[in-house]
Structure 1
């Protein structure tokens, strides 16, 4: 597998990956998450132009992304906004590789850690990230930027299910 910057032409494929990756949320009574629209093309383009949209591709097929990650700096950290893997390629450490790539980019930019927000009771969310070295942040540890992200998530109804902010050095 190879990780590289996303191209403008691939942005619709990233939306398709996220739609497919959302499907398993139905098993947890989270149909609204499964049906949620991925980021709009213009939003994905902003991440791409900023150099913070990466795709994972097979070594023998550079033209078809298997997964993607978008991120942005938030309060001295690189905040993982979204990481999604095509379900047919799940459990192959692709998400882990994308997170490692993001950590390398964060280090190059002088950012001290990675952050993300996620669901606590979905196995491929908080429990997965904990296995990768992320730890849940208490309310007092949330930076102003993370508080703003959580408030926006609440406005979109994501707090209907337990969520947490996590950080990894």
Structure 2
């Protein structure tokens, strides 16, 4: 699996991935989530230019370098916050989400950040229970930072609080950035706080995880 910085030409494909990844929510009675629009192209472009949008591809497969999943991240307080991570259901159960998060952990560690954080649905099997299996823990209310509280408030305004949600955190050290079963050479991309990254593949992380 190859993890690389997103290209401008990838962005419409990321919207397709997001639409497809939302469909399983219908089976849980969460059509509101399934029907939510994907991130607009200008927002995806802002993440790409800031160096905070990565995609996973499998160049040795029939899909070539086409994105199979993607992750967006924001610096929030002392952590790198996972704004969105989505995988094409057609490529599920290949460890793609785990690889994207492992790459994000490496990037956060390289920047001196102490943790990854995210917000997610409590009772959706591929949300909080999945993240708990890869090293995240639920934060109690008194543990929430100002940044996480602001994110939760924005989600509530969007209507996501009609189902239980939690904030989760995975503390990082240089030795613990990658989960068990992943290994390989990693090149950490630059993650500027202002736009300016070129429209190229950027730095690439290659790993042998499943």
Q: In the TM superposition, what is the alpha-carbon distance from 1:62 to its structure 2 partner?
A: 4.4
Q: TM-score, normalised by structure 2?
A: 0.79
Q: How far, CA to CA, are the matches of 2:49 and 2:43 in structure 1?
A: 10
| Deviation string, structure 1 residues 44-66 (Cα, Å, up to 9, x no partner) | 11111111100000122543100
- Note if contact 2:59-2:65 (Cα within 8 Å) is conserved in structure 1: no
Which protein is richer in helix relative to its size? Answer: 1
The corresponding residue for 1:159 is 161
Q: Which has the higher contact order (CA 8 A, sep 6+)?
A: 2
| Deviation string, structure 1 residues 103-128 (Cα, Å, up to 9, x no partner) | 00001111110000000000000000
Q: TM-score, normalised by structure 1?
A: 0.98
Aligned Cα root-mean-square deviation (Å) = 0.8
**Structure 1: tracts of 5 or more residues without a match:** none
Aligned residues between the structures: 169
> In terms of mean alpha carbon deviation, does 40-49 or 124-133 score higher?
40-49
The corresponding residue for 1:56 is 56
The corresponding residue for 1:2 is 2
| Deviation string, structure 1 residues 23-74 (Cα, Å, up to 9, x no partner) | 0000110001001001111111111111110000012254310000000100
Which protein is richer in strand relative to its size? Answer: 1
**Structure 2: tracts of 5 or more residues without a match:** 172-210
Q: Based on CA coordinates, which of the two structures has the bigger radius of gyration?
A: 2
Moved over 4 A (4+): none
The corresponding residue for 1:113 is 115
The corresponding residue for 2:36 is 36
**Partner SS, residue 151 of structure 1:** helix
**Partner SS, residue 142 of structure 2:** helix
